[in-house]
Chain A
């Protein structure tokens, strides 16, 4: 990124930080957390410990970071190197990202930016101008992306509450600041489990590794009485609703399943998994040493803020997570995709000089689809 762009982003971020300290708060048990941050065009600084809001705000003002992170883990000595930190426990965390949902809308709003000649083209694996394969893909997620992510969050919450007995109040959903949601679970029975256990929990939530026997299908002499019922709890119940669709069809469908046999049943399971499994990123859930974007901080991939979603159904990131100023700026924009922010539409811009509000300019500059004029 060029000097002028960095300066513009830093100025805009700084203004936000200064005006919105109310949104940037240290998490509970601050002392036990590891913090980290990144500055524009430079690497990560980790293993920082912070005492209180004041110290946190100082970090923001002194460094003007592009991104700020905080661990979901609790340590005795968060500022020491990893193997001396003395890991105590970690909140459960789930990452749901629109890019992992195989959505058909994606190609309509993803562009490829050539790292060599900066050409912006519709999504492809190589540059349409210079043929380079050094391509960076940028997506401007649409409403469908957000709605589909929300659906996954709801599916996840249902499992957390019904199967794993987690209190609704202990589940916090945050908009990640870019294309998805981070779901935090505090104070559950899972605080102290390690990464292998978390990986196994992720498989449960994703409906991975299921065997036909679990749903009553045996290799030899399968018996219709062992198939799940409509009002059963857990996966057997969800499976019934998905596969039988109604109580009246249950018997007939079981007969079909029995006729088709064991290996066909395994295929049915794989298909069902696509629908009822929750599409979380298992690598995030199993990582017990990771640091996550701090709520209230800006995501430098978009200029939007990571914020708590109090009402997920109504939540609209493009109006509620954009906090930057309305002041006009002039940019060279090469943004072939239309987007809307704070209820205003922008673009498409094809290699043109345009004047837009700061929040829209930041969005495009962060996506590398505009530079300061």
Chain B
């Protein structure tokens, strides 16, 4: 764990151990629900989520990377931690996802600024260490650039579809890729989002805290706005529908999502040829890769063994699950609509 200063925790609140932080500051969650002064912070936390849900980045009380006033610091961190509590209590996955993404963008700004900070070495060092600790990427400063190993670069850049991110369009030398601070941080955007998302998902859900009910109810209402698919039974499970919709919208479905979709449809008896066109809209569509992967899944190339659809459990950890009541009691999407208890 990184030892963080006050400023740093405000910038990167997801690095803090929530329970420990509250304890250190001498607070309990219950106090936030009852003490009228502290209760403001719950509203602030709700606001932080609302802004994120609308796709904006929460405007913090930090000015530049300095704290506006002494008191603002814990408030910044508290509003983040309370937001997580609210999200957990509401159980709304769509909101968690949006919140994690917006918080990642917010952190991204600070990381970039810290990396580019030439007057304060320690700021740059911290940013480099965060990237290393969280994503195991060793970044080195070389003249005006940041360099990372080509293999690390590839692992992250393959999720981008813009041609400028292709390795061929990069300055490569000595097994390393040269990046600007902006590009360095941009490279880990998705992982930063995933990291924050999984931190929230893995956080324990507390029992309802008196005084939090209103905000939680408002969140549940808010999340309704973002649910796009309609529930129908006897068809594909929501995870699969969601994946298909993402692809149809031309969104970049992560590799794990493609794996799930491909394995699911193959198990349902569709052929590689039938499935491949589904991926045509993906921004990074590459016929060679798609066919290779599908054939590999289907076991028609090489191994001869067919892969099976991942379990619901696994899909939950990959943020691919959008469970609905009909999902109760099943352990694999393939059982959807079949098994009833």
Residue A283 lies at the interface, judged by CB distance under 8 Å to chain B:
yes
Contact for B305 among A81, A196, A201, A214, CB less than 8 A: A81
Check B151–A190 contact: CB distance below 8 A. yes
Contact for B175 among A165, A197, A207, A236, CB less than 8 A: A165
Check B169–A283 contact: CB distance below 8 A. no
Contacts of A282 in B (CB 8 A): 288
Contacts of A210 in B (CB 8 A): 166, 168-169
Residue B94 lies at the interface, judged by CB distance under 8 Å to chain A:
no
Contact for A164 among B150, B292, B299, B303, CB less than 8 A: B150
Check B163–A193 contact: CB distance below 8 A. no
In the complex, per-residue mask of A72-83: 1 if CB is within 8 Å of any chain B CB, else 0: 000000000111
Contacts of B164 in A (CB 8 A): 211, 213-214
Check A199–B167 contact: CB distance below 8 A. no
Complex Cα distance, B167 from A207, in Å, reads: 10
Complex Cα distance, B167 from A210, in Å, reads: 9
Complex Cα distance, B155 from A182, in Å, reads: 25
Interface contacts (Cβ under 8 Å), in number, total: 103
Check B163–A209 contact: CB distance below 8 A. yes
Contact for A283 among B163, B167, B255, B288, CB less than 8 A: B288
Check B174–A193 contact: CB distance below 8 A. no
Residue B278 lies at the interface, judged by CB distance under 8 Å to chain A:
no
A136 to chain B, nearest CB (A): 22
A235 to chain B, nearest CB (A): 7
B263 to chain A, nearest CB (A): 10
Residue B126 lies at the interface, judged by CB distance under 8 Å to chain A:
no
Check A289–B175 contact: CB distance below 8 A. no
Contact for B173 among A163, A193, A290, CB less than 8 A: A163
**Given A164-B175, A200-B167, A287 and B292 touching (CB < 8 A)?**
yes
B264 to chain A, nearest CB (A): 15
Complex Cα distance, B171 from A196, in Å, reads: 20
**Given A197-B151, A197-B158, A282-B288, A204 and B307 touching (CB < 8 A)?**
no
Check A286–B166 contact: CB distance below 8 A. no
Contacts of A164 in B (CB 8 A): 150, 172, 175
Check A209–B289 contact: CB distance below 8 A. no
In the complex, per-residue mask of B165-199: 1 if CB is within 8 Å of any chain A CB, else 0: 01111111111100000000000000000000000
Contacts of B303 in A (CB 8 A): 46, 81-83, 289
Residue A166 lies at the interface, judged by CB distance under 8 Å to chain B:
yes
Complex Cα distance, B302 from A289, in Å, reads: 7
Residue A10 lies at the interface, judged by CB distance under 8 Å to chain B:
no
Check B149–A189 contact: CB distance below 8 A. yes
Complex Cα distance, B288 from A192, in Å, reads: 21
Residue B331 lies at the interface, judged by CB distance under 8 Å to chain A:
no
A5 to chain B, nearest CB (A): 29
In the complex, per-residue mask of A157-201: 1 if CB is within 8 Å of any chain B CB, else 0: 000000111100000000000000000000001101101110111
Residue A233 lies at the interface, judged by CB distance under 8 Å to chain B:
yes
Residue B157 lies at the interface, judged by CB distance under 8 Å to chain A:
yes
Complex Cα distance, B293 from A352, in Å, reads: 48
B215 to chain A, nearest CB (A): 42
Residue B154 lies at the interface, judged by CB distance under 8 Å to chain A:
yes
Check B151–A283 contact: CB distance below 8 A. no
**Given A165-B175, A166-B175, A289-B296, A204 and B304 touching (CB < 8 A)?**
no
Contact for A203 among B168, B172, B173, B307, CB less than 8 A: B168
- How many chain B residues sit at the interface, stated as a range, is 35 or more
Contacts of A163 in B (CB 8 A): 172-175
A40 to chain B, nearest CB (A): 21
Nearest CB to that of B154 among chain A residues? A197
Nearest CB to that of B302 among chain A residues? A289
Check B289–A203 contact: CB distance below 8 A. no
Contacts of A290 in B (CB 8 A): 302
Check A286–B289 contact: CB distance below 8 A. yes
Contacts of A204 in B (CB 8 A): 166-168, 172
Contacts of A189 in B (CB 8 A): 149-151, 175
Complex Cα distance, B172 from A197, in Å, reads: 15
Number of interface residues of A (CB under 8 A): 37
Residue B40 lies at the interface, judged by CB distance under 8 Å to chain A:
no
Residue B217 lies at the interface, judged by CB distance under 8 Å to chain A:
no
B297 to chain A, nearest CB (A): 10
Complex Cα distance, B54 from A18, in Å, reads: 73
Check B149–A209 contact: CB distance below 8 A. no
Residue A208 lies at the interface, judged by CB distance under 8 Å to chain B:
yes
B288-336 at interface with A (beta carbon < 8 Å): 288-289, 292-293, 296, 299, 301-305, 307-308
Residue B68 lies at the interface, judged by CB distance under 8 Å to chain A:
no
**Given A207-B168, A211-B164, A200 and B299 touching (CB < 8 A)?**
no
**Given A81-B303, A163-B173, A197-B158, A208 and B151 touching (CB < 8 A)?**
no
Check A196–B299 contact: CB distance below 8 A. no
Check B292–A283 contact: CB distance below 8 A. yes
Complex Cα distance, B289 from A235, in Å, reads: 24
Check B289–A193 contact: CB distance below 8 A. no
Residue B286 lies at the interface, judged by CB distance under 8 Å to chain A:
yes
Nearest CB to that of A195 among chain B residues? B292
Contacts of B169 in A (CB 8 A): 209-211, 213-214
In the complex, per-residue mask of B228-249: 1 if CB is within 8 Å of any chain A CB, else 0: 0000000000000000000000
Complex Cα distance, B159 from A200, in Å, reads: 11
B119-177 at interface with A (beta carbon < 8 Å): 149-151, 154-155, 157-158, 163-164, 166-176
Check A83–B305 contact: CB distance below 8 A. yes
Contact for B171 among A81, A213, A234, CB less than 8 A: A234
B286 to chain A, nearest CB (A): 7
Contact for A199 among B149, B173, B288, CB less than 8 A: B288
Nearest CB to that of B297 among chain A residues? A83
25 contacts between A and B (CB under 8 A): A46-B304, A81-B303, A81-B304, A81-B305, A82-B299, A82-B303, A82-B304, A163-B175, A197-B151, A197-B158, A199-B288, A200-B158, A200-B167, A201-B167, A203-B166, A204-B172, A209-B163, A209-B166, A209-B169, A210-B166, A211-B169, A213-B164, A213-B169, A286-B288, A289-B296
Q: Apart from A82-B304, A287-B301, what 13 extra A-B contacts exist at CB < 8 Å?
A: A46-B304, A190-B150, A195-B292, A197-B155, A197-B158, A200-B167, A203-B166, A207-B168, A211-B169, A214-B168, A233-B173, A235-B168, A235-B172
B residues contacting A by CB (< 8 A) are: 149-151, 154-155, 157-158, 163-164, 166-176, 255, 286, 288-289, 292-293, 296, 299, 301-305, 307-308
- 4 nearest CB pairs, A to B: A82-B303, A165-B175, A197-B154, A189-B151
